[in-house]
Amino acid sequence: MTEQLTRSAYAGTLPLLVERVDGVAVFTLHRPERRNAIDLETACLLSTALDELDESDDLRAAVLTGSPTLFSAGMDLKAFAATGQRPVDEHRGGFGIVGRPPRKPIIAAVEGPALGGGFEIALACDLIVAGEGATFGLPEVKRGLVASGGGMLRLPRRIPRNLATEAVLTGRPLTATRCAELGLVNRVVPDGGARAAAQALAAEIALNAPLAVQASKVVMAESALWPEDEQFARQELLIEPVRSSQDAREGARAFAEKRPPRWQGR
Q: Is 240 a catalytic residue?
A: no
Q: Which residues pair with 21 in a beta bridge?
A: 2, 24
Closest-CA residue to 248 (of 263, 233, 226, 227): 263
- Active-site pick, 111, 120, 230, 250: 120
Q: 3-class SS at 59?
A: coil
Using alpha carbons, list the distances in angstroms from residue 39 to 43, 91, 139, 219, 264: 6, 16, 19, 32, 37
Q: Is 140 a catalytic residue?
A: yes
CA–CA distance, 128 with 121 (Å, rounded to integer)? 11
Closest-CA residue to 26 (of 128, 109, 126, 122): 109
Q: How far from each other are the two terminal CA atoms of the chain, in whole angstroms?
A: 25
- What is the bridge-based pairing of β-strands 88-89 and 93-94? antiparallel
CA–CA distance, 89 with 44 (Å, rounded to integer)? 6
Q: Which residues pair with 18 in a beta bridge?
A: 27
Answer whether 213's CB lies under 8 Å from 202's CB: no
Contacts of 6 (CB under 8 A, 6+ apart): none
- Active-site pick, 41, 140, 181, 204: 140
Burial 195-218 (b: 16+ CB within 10 A, else e): bebbbebbbebbebbbbbbbbbbe
Question: Which are the catalytic amino acids?
Answer: 120, 140
